A and B are shown apart, each in its own frame.
Chain A
């Protein structure tokens, strides 16, 4: 065991090696940063493995060279790795006992949390739709929509027949950013969950308010969203979105024509 008696005899890396390691650590950190640069990659599940591996490499480089475990008595390596292994065991045990290995929110949290993105410029919640528009709307990737609002009988949306309805659909999925919050089965990208499911909106709209036709109801819902708030959905969210859009009457008509086809 006592092969390496004195601290002064343990060989230390040369200056050149130290500089090399410093550059190596820098480069890895830059690579880590580059991994999360593309917007789609940020927070994506697949990035966890490469990021974890890269930081493990950095970790090893520091302990074996900067802390010169590589050149020291082997016992020190075991002392440290033993503690590290126990540390990992603590993490696995606690996460296994009290959490989940996939960090998806637990049902209780999902049901009770504020559906809010904090807006630190203005306070309150960010208008998601507007922010999305600002970020040059891309079609959101289809998430698992199991938490979507009450399922109505599934069907496939008919292809818009008239020009007006087609125009409406283009607005719905494009500039109008409706798909950010609303779902329509069969319409690509329309998978939002913040607002009511519009899959059968034409049918629903007829009966929503007594004495109000489907068309009138839809126009009102777009122009004056807060006039009637469907149970359990947030007020004001759509109001703010629409205010920012400045839809023309023709555009509203097109949207309504499209929505009237969703039976």
Chain B
């Protein structure tokens, strides 16, 4: 049966007509879709271990810069909004695909990729700023765990952008529509997953951990207004 489905999936790309054939799977779920969900499920473990590592080493860095020294919450809140917007654009892309509105498919796919690229732009800016301020991946435990976790997330977003651009290229050729909507849907699932991972990272590293001082600095003595941009508010 697995063989049958593999065959079906393989052909569906080239012969959209075959997409009409209802798949007979024991679960009643398209195999590609199930595979995507299993992958996302396993990615929870991947990010879970990186998040756990951040938590284990939180507040244990021996040298600065510590989070309170450089984390800039407002800037990252903006990039969080950008990523949320991209998720909305992604659902629009899928809706357009289901409704076979060719121009809209291309527009929303490119919008999603563009917003994702803006998010990555914020991240590149932030990484550069941190590096200039003395935080590198080998500076302290905060640097190691921060760059590893957010870096892997950024890599996920980047991969998503490449995927979306690939889809946009196919859409431009007019090959996306209701019959191949699953292609867009799978990319969408991946994209939204990257969004929810960011929801967790943003809360943990920025909103909760962003004001951590070094172990030897009494946090109650730290005037938080010195925290860069946030101090202006």
A residues engaging B (CB < 8 A)? Answer: 1-8, 12, 15, 18-19, 22, 25-26, 29, 32-33, 35-37, 39, 42-43, 47-48, 51-52, 54-55, 58-59, 62-63, 66-67, 73, 75-76, 79-80, 82-84, 86-88, 90-91, 93-95, 98-99, 103-106, 109-110, 112-118, 120, 125-126, 128, 131-132, 134-135, 140-143, 180-181, 191-194
Tell which of B26, B37, B221 touches A76, judged by Cβ atoms closer than 8 Å.
Answer: B37
Say whether B95 contacts A15, CB under 8 Å: yes
Interface assignment of B15: CB less than 8 Å from any CB of chain A: no
Known A43-B212, A84-B44, A86-B48: A120·B133 in contact at CB below 8 Å: yes
A7 CB contacts on chain B under 8 angstroms:
30, 33, 181-182, 185
B18 CB contacts on chain A under 8 angstroms:
none
> For residue A63, which residue of chain B has the nearest CB?
B196
> For residue B206, which residue of chain A has the nearest CB?
A36
B192 CB contacts on chain A under 8 angstroms:
62-63, 66-67
Say whether A59 contacts B199, CB under 8 Å: yes
B residues engaging A (CB < 8 A)? Answer: 22-23, 25-30, 33-34, 37-38, 40-45, 47-49, 51-53, 55-66, 68-70, 73-74, 77, 80-81, 84-85, 87-88, 90-92, 94-95, 98, 133-134, 178, 181-182, 185, 188-189, 192-193, 195-196, 199-200, 202-203, 207-228, 230, 233
User: Of A39, A54, A181, which is in contact with the most chain B CB atoms at under 10 Å from its CB?
Assistant: A39
Say whether B189 contacts A67, CB under 8 Å: yes
Say whether A80 contacts B181, CB under 8 Å: no
Cα distance A236–B140 in the bound complex, in angstroms: 25
B34 CB contacts on chain A under 8 angstroms:
75-76, 79
Say whether B28 contacts A73, CB under 8 Å: yes
Say whether B196 contacts A12, CB under 8 Å: no
User: Of B37, B49, B87, B221, which is in contact with the most chain A CB atoms at under 10 Å from its CB?
Assistant: B221
Tell which of B181, B189, B203, B211 touches A52, judged by Cβ atoms closer than 8 Å.
Answer: B203
A5 CB contacts on chain B under 8 angstroms:
22-23, 28
Secondary structure at the B interface, as helix, strand, loop or mixed, is helix
Say whether A120 contacts B207, CB under 8 Å: no
User: What's the minimum C-beta distance from B112 to chain A, rounded to whole angstroms?
Assistant: 12
Secondary structure at the A interface, as helix, strand, loop or mixed, is helix
User: What's the minimum C-beta distance from B5 to chain A, rounded to whole angstroms?
Assistant: 13
> For residue A107, which residue of chain B has the nearest CB?
B215
A83 CB contacts on chain B under 8 angstroms:
38, 40-45
> For residue A40, which residue of chain B has the nearest CB?
B224
Say whether B62 contacts A113, CB under 8 Å: yes
Q: Give 5 closest A-B pairs by Cβ, nearest first.
A: A83-B41, A2-B28, A43-B211, A87-B48, A105-B215
Say whether B233 contacts A37, CB under 8 Å: yes
Tell which of A6, A114, A132, A193 touches B214, judged by Cβ atoms closer than 8 Å.
Answer: A114
> For residue B36, which residue of chain A has the nearest CB?
A76
Q: 16 interchain pairs (CB within 8 A)?
A: A12-B95, A19-B88, A54-B203, A67-B192, A73-B27, A80-B37, A106-B215, A113-B216, A114-B214, A116-B64, A117-B213, A118-B69, A120-B134, A128-B221, A128-B223, A135-B225
Say whether B60 contacts A131, CB under 8 Å: no
Cα distance A118–B81 in the bound complex, in angstroms: 29
Cα distance A2–B27 in the bound complex, in angstroms: 6
> For residue B230, which residue of chain A has the nearest CB?
A42
Known A26-B84, A29-B84: A87·B185 in contact at CB below 8 Å: no
Say whether B216 contacts A114, CB under 8 Å: yes
Tell which of A51, A117, A191 touches B208, judged by Cβ atoms closer than 8 Å.
Answer: A51
Tell which of B52, B84, B185, B230 touches A91, judged by Cβ atoms closer than 8 Å.
Answer: B52
Given contacts A47-B207, A126-B226, A135-B226, list 17 more A-B pairs with CB under 8 A.
Answer: A1-B27, A4-B28, A29-B80, A29-B81, A33-B74, A42-B230, A66-B87, A67-B189, A79-B38, A83-B45, A90-B49, A95-B55, A118-B69, A120-B133, A128-B217, A132-B221, A142-B220
